[in-house]
């Protein structure tokens, strides 16, 4: 019967092994560790469309005291602890997707970039490596759609040598988002530090070859057939989510309506420091999640744990995501 | 702003696309679908040990009225519906693991078999294919440990041609489990149908080459260094779980202490028809899950959605599993 006291564990560890593995021992003395993770991609269908979630990996950092601007470090740590996660550390995942509509191969958001792959020693910036593992040629991508102008969504437009990561793709960006970040007046009013850095980074990325491929899109319109742009502002002024529709099937690609779900889906009133307008982001979050619950709609979350496809239910004062079980076939 | 009424969706779909993808359209008219899922394996560390979860895939079937022997079909359907799962259908996953202790390469449970891979057209019986994808040679396996004598755990000992799936492995089975299923008296008392079929299947599998490799193990003892057998009876008389220990790290490999978590972790008082002794299985389930909660211990679930590693918390009258976020590195 079950008995797992420390004494039993120690006792049994000390006990001699009932039956030695004679044959196996004779064959090999050691078993080399692999040290390699499975390639991070996962595929599912939406109607006749094929969605491939291609993870860009994760980051790992000690979070700042104002990581959640309206909650203390202790409150954030309590939430992490409730999820059996390490105190004081944030490990956000990044999950771009590829939509194959049958006529177009479309990347939505580009991850943290190949430069970050090198810098992070492979922890982040995995998009191009995982794309290749999934059998998708970056040269075959027809369109890249950008949800908003934060580095983990736009930096992957460029390779480490500053050439285009998707050399044959047109690049679609939210009209109002582009206008905001390219506006010299807005930039002149940006606070030092993060906001100013964002302006600088966006002007670095959106230059040269990227600009030659650039098209702006409007909220409420289709960007390519079957991918509808829907305004979900607050996180940034032009922050956009997407509804991918094929036949009677659809999913909601939320971009950053919430950051990591274990903090911000459970606690929609919490304001991530990433949210440029916290109050507007919260209102958007409520609106989106109430809709996801009412319509029983699937959500694909950029910062959800890979592969990031879930249903949503109400839970307490917020919501809970219910990951769709991994389907080992398609 | 967000507006996803049917009228808006139809309206926007009907609207002309703001910016045609001229370049992309010129390049290719169609984009061939891949139709292929990622190989189902996932790796993590326990101390210095390397665990590779290698999924055997899933099954999919209309469940019988007595699938949960003490609950009605309507109650089961209500639970499925709460998880956004299809009514009347069961899709259990099967997740064997490989433990690399640094000196031994050990498979725990063997899945539904290569024969089932052929019969199910690749939905189940994926273990050998996914092992190969994970870079693990079946010939390099030193030991196979069996938790209990149900087909989805033992059938994978044999290939479709009845040769050994792990030709160089010793096979370790629970002493009391083996005794029960090989006892002619017990077999003579078995009810027609499922129980009789189980006896017959076990006598088919545990014959010939398998028997030549067979070793029995006892509860409370280590089977190989770092893998402790712990009795968790009820599901079958000799049903066994495992504690994998390396240094100060450990996980609990629960085998079938619960079947699919969305039914039996949430509702520990529900008796799966798979449970040979429902009351004993329930008592075991409570004991194990109370321990997992008290010790904040990780559980690896054979019938949890892939990859099946989770923490457990109390929830309502039962428990809830909190899947460990996918780590794209190791």
Cβ of A222 within 8 Å of Cβ of B50? The answer is no
Nearest-Å Rg of the Cα atoms of chain B is: 22
**Nearest CB to A34: which of B123, B135, B168?**
B135
- Among partner residues A9, A100, A172, which is closest to B243 by beta-carbon distance? A9
Residue to mutate among A17, A24, A134, with most B CBs inside 10 A, is A24
pLDDT at residue B100 tops 90: yes
Residue A12 or B144, more confident: B144
Q: How confident is the model over B7-52, as pLDDT tens digits?
A: 344 333 333 333 333 344 444 557 889 989 999 999 999 999 999 9
Which of B37, B104, B230 is the closest to A31 by Cβ? Answer: B104
Q: What is the mean pLDDT of residues B149-161?
A: 98
Averaged pLDDT, B87-99:
98
- A203: closest CA of chain B, how far (Å): 23
| Coil vs helix vs strand at A196 | helix
Which has the closest alpha carbon to A202: A246, A236, A244, A245?
A236
Nearest residue on chain A to B123, alpha-carbon basis: A329
pLDDT for B311-328, tens place per residue? Answer: 999 999 999 999 999 999
- How many CB atoms sit inside 10 A of residue A129's CB? 17
Report how far Cα B274 is from the mean position of its chain's Cα atoms: 14
Q: Is the pLDDT of residue B1 over 70?
A: no
**pLDDT attached to residue B30:** 76
Position A7 scores a pLDDT of 38
In the CATH hierarchy, which fold is given to the domain comprising B39-323?
A: Metallo-beta-lactamase; Chain A (3.60.15)
Interface contact flag, B228 A12, Cβ < 8 Å: yes
Contacts A–B by Cβ distance under 8 A: 271
Question: Per-residue pLDDT for chain A (330 aa), expressed as one digit of tens each?
Answer: 444 443 344 333 333 333 333 334 444 557 889 989 999 999 999 999 999 999 999 999 999 999 999 999 999 999 999 999 999 999 999 999 999 999 999 999 999 999 999 999 999 999 999 999 999 999 999 999 999 999 999 999 999 999 999 999 999 999 999 999 999 999 999 999 999 999 999 999 999 999 999 999 999 999 999 999 999 999 999 999 999 999 999 999 999 999 999 999 999 999 999 999 999 999 999 999 999 999 999 999 999 999 999 999 999 999 999 999 999 999
What span, in angstroms and rounded, lies between the C-alpha atoms of B328 and B20? 36
Q: Are B254 and B265 within 8 A, CB to CB?
A: no
pLDDT at position B28 is 53
**Per-residue DSSP letter, A38:** P
Q: Which residues of B touch A41 (CB under 8 A)?
A: 38
pLDDT, position A16: 31
pLDDT, position B31: 84
pLDDT of residue A5: 46
Average pLDDT over residues B70-75: 98
What pLDDT is attached to residue A31? 83
Count other C-beta atoms under 10 Å from residue B273's C-beta: 16
Q: For an interface test with B, which of A321, A326, A327 has the most B Cβ atoms less than 10 Å from its Cβ? A: A326
Q: With an 8 Å Cβ cutoff, are B23 and A168 in contact?
A: yes
Q: How many angstroms separate the CA of residue B302 from the nearest CA in chain A?
A: 14
Pick the residue from chain B with its C-alpha nearest to A220.
Answer: B12
Q: Is the dihedral of CA A289, A157, B328, A78 positive or negative?
A: negative
**Percent residues over pLDDT 70 in chain B:** 91
């Amino acid at each position: 019967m079950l008995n797992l006291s420390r004494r039993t564990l120690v006792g049994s560890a000390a006990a001699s092994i009932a039956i030695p593995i004679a044959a196996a021992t004779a064959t090999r003395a050691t078993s080399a560790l692999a040290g390699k993770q499975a390639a991070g991609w996962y595929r599912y269908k939406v109607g006749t469309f094929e969605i491939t979630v291609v993870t860009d990996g994760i980051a790992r950092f000690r979070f700042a005291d104002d990581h959640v601007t309206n909650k203390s470090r202790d409150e954030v740590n309590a939430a992490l602890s409730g999820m059996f996660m390490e105190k004081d550390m944030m490990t956000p995942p990044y999950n771009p997707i590829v939509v194959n509509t049958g006529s177009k191969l479309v990347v939505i958001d580009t991850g943290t970039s190949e430069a970050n792959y090198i810098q992070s020693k492979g922890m982040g910036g995995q998009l191009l490596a995982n794309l290749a593992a999934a059998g998708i040629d970056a040269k075959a991508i027809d369109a890249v759609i950008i949800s908003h102008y934060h580095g983990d969504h736009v930096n992957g437009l460029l390779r480490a040598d500053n050439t285009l990561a998707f050399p044959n793709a047109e690049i679609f960006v939210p009209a109002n988002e582009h206008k905001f970040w390219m506006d010299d007046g807005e930039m002149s009013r940006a606070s030092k530090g993060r906001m100013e850095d964002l302006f600088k980074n966006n002007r670095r990325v959106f230059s040269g070859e990227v600009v030659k491929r650039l098209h702006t899109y409007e909220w409420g319109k289709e960007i390519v057939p079957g991918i509808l742009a829907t305004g979900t502002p607050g996180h940034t002024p032009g922050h956009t989510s997407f509804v991918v529709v094929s036949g009677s099937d659809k999913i909601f690609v939320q971009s950053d309506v919430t950051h990591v779900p274990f903090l911000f889906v459970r606690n929609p009133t919490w304001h991530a420091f990433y949210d440029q307008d916290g109050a507007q982001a919260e209102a958007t979050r409520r609106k989106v999640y109430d809709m996801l619950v009412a319509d029983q709609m699937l959500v694909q979350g950029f910062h959800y744990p890979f592969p990031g496809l879930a249903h949503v239910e109400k839970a307490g004062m917020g919501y809970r995501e219910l990951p769709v079980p991994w389907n080992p076939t398609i």
